[in-house]
């Protein structure tokens, strides 16, 4: 089943990219199209998991389960709102304290960081189920070593190349644009 999860996560990465780009292009409202693409990709993967696993989902809603869900969910929602509030305050302070040029540099750095973290998060999402599968067979952490070190070395080399390229290209690009 771990292979099924891993394949689903890999398919979700690819399908969401394809569906988001395709539907965002096709819809008059591009944001709505991108959201429809995410929905379509997630539904496709859930459908794949349901079909490939042969598992029959039993939907059962009881008052106890609803209460348990609210007891867990409400604090998480409150923490999310507090996090968004602090992030918004942080952005307003940064906006107030930095000049236009420095704010532009800051935004370019934030955007670059977001793109680079997406790369590593995608690799982690695909490899994590396989690592759990290898670990769970013998309960031996060394069993997952190849899945940890191989991609880590590859991503490290890739990130080194990308960051070096950004450091070389970005300053002249900013200066002349």
Torsion of CA 98, 102, 106, 108, to 10 degrees: 150
pLDDT value at residue 141: 67
Residue 83 tokens read as 């996090």
Residue 62 tokens read as 């009881």
To the question of pTM greater than 0.85 for the whole model, the response is no
Find where tokens 């819809």 sit. 27
Q: Where are the alpha helices (DSSP H) in the chain?
A: 2-26, 30-53, 63-97, 100-138, 145-176
pLDDT along the chain (177 residues), means of 10: 77 88 90 91 90 79 86 90 84 81 80 77 71 69 67 78 84 78
pLDDT value at residue 111: 81
| Distance (Å, whole) CA 113 – CA 103 | 15
Asked if 174 and 105 count as a contact pair (C-beta separation under 8 A), the reply is: yes
Sequence length of the chain is: 177
């Amino acid at each position: 089943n771990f292979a099924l999860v891993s394949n689903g996560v890999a398919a979700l990465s690819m399908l969401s990219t394809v569906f988001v780009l395709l539907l965002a292009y096709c819809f008059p409202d591009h944001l709505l199209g991108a959201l429809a693409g995410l929905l379509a990709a997630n539904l496709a993967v859930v459908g794949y998991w349901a079909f490939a696993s042969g598992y029959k989902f039993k939907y059962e809603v009881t008052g106890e389960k609803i209460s348990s869900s609210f007891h867990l969910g409400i604090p998480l929602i409150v923490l999310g709102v507090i996090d968004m509030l602090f992030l918004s305050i942080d952005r307003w302070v940064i906006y107030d304290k930095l000049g236009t040029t420095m704010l532009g540099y800051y935004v370019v750095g934030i955007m670059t960081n977001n793109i680079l973290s997406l790369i590593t998060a995608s690799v982690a999402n695909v490899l994590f189920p396989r690592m759990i599968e290898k670990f769970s067979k013998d309960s031996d952490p060394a069993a997952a070593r190849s899945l940890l070190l191989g991609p880590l070395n590859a991503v490290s080399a890739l990130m080194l190349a990308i960051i070096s390229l950004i450091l070389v290209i970005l300053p002249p690009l900013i200066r002349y644009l």
